[in-house]
């Protein structure tokens, strides 16, 4: 499952709820609701950083006046969670007893979830 987007400020562990965009040709910083997708040249901010942002001297700040709310889970998140639950709930088939001589003479491959173990060449 995808992890929620975090605040872009260094050391801030909080979840992002707003997006900061700079409009350089108008000397304006725009703080609005969290964008649907992370974009280059924008910054995700948590609520305290979105509310306290200041702009350089001579710049304007346009700030969203409503509430900043965390984004709802996307269908991708829900599908990934459902698939993980299905994978974990699958019964594991019992392994047949192995013959030690057959195991030593032929290399075996095994599966662990979605990974496959391949023994080194002898």
- To which H or E segment does residue 28 belong? strand 28-33
Instruction: Please indicate whether residue 106 or residue 88 has the higher confidence score (pLDDT).
Output: 88
Residue 1 in 3-state DSSP?
Answer: coil
Instruction: Tell me which residue has tokens 């346009």.
Output: 62
Look at residue 15 and tell me whether its pLDDT is greater than 70: yes
Q: Are 31 and 61 in contact (CB under 8 A)?
A: yes
Task: Write down the pLDDT at residue 40.
Answer: 87
Q: Confidence class of residue 62 from pLDDT cuts 50, 70 and 90?
A: very high
Q: Confidence class of residue 47 from pLDDT cuts 50, 70 and 90?
A: very high
Task: Write down the pLDDT at residue 43.
Answer: 95
């Amino acid at each position: 499952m995808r992890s929620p987007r975090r605040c872009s400020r260094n050391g801030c562990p909080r979840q992002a709820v707003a997006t900061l965009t700079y409009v350089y040709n108008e000397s304006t910083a725009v703080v609005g609701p969290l964008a649907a997708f992370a974009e280059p040249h924008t910054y995700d901010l948590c609520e305290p950083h979105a509310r306290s942002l200041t702009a350089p001297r001579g710049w304007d700040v346009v700030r969203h006046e409503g509430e900043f709310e965390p984004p709802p889970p996307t269908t991708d998140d829900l599908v990934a969670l459902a698939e993980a639950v299905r994978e974990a709930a699958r019964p594991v088939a019992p392994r047949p007893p192995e013959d030690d001589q057959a195991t030593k003479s032929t290399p075996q491959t095994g599966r662990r979830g979605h990974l496959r173990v391949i023994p080194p060449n002898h």
